[in-house]
Amino acid sequence: MTGMLMVFALLSLALFSLGLAGIVASRHAVIVVLSSELGLVASMIFSLSAFSYYSQGNALGLLFSLWAIMSAEAIMLIVFYRYLARAEMSLDISKLSKYRD
């Protein structure tokens, strides 16, 4: 890898690590969602930097990876919603304080 691509890759991996560690170490539902957003943004930076440096102008790979990242976000939120619903947690926004227990 070249220097510039390497630093972009390391930044995105550092952001991804922070996001993944945040999901494990946090007990606030919204912070967990924010952590996953951080991971997805890191994935976007990584795929875009790889596209910028290696692609020969064919955007199909980039579009596919962006689509996959967006799908992962939607699937993750659905799974999270199902988990909260199955655990019989209130999804009432005014009762978010219950999540701390």
List of residues contacting another protein (CB under 8 A): 1-11, 13-22, 24-28, 30-31, 33-35, 37-38, 41, 44-45, 48-49, 51-57, 59, 62, 93-94, 96-97, 100
Minimal distance in Å, beta carbon 71 to another protein? 15
Smallest separation, CB 88 to another protein (Å): 19
Q: Are 84 and 91 in contact (CB under 8 A)?
A: yes
> Which residue reads 């910028």 in tokens?
52
Which is closer to another protein, CB of 60 or CB of 87? 60
Distance (Å, whole) CA 95 – CA 22:
23
SS3 13: helix
Minimum CB distance to another protein, residue 53 (Å): 4
In the complex with another protein, the residue whose CB is nearer, 2 or 86, is 2
Angle 34-37-39 from CA coordinates, rounded to 5° = 115
Give the shortest CB-79-to-another protein separation in angstroms: 18
CB 79 within 8 A of CB 33: no
Task: Identify which of residues 5 and 84 has a Cβ nearer to another protein in the complex.
Answer: 5
Helix (H, G, I), strand (E, B) or coil at 1: coil
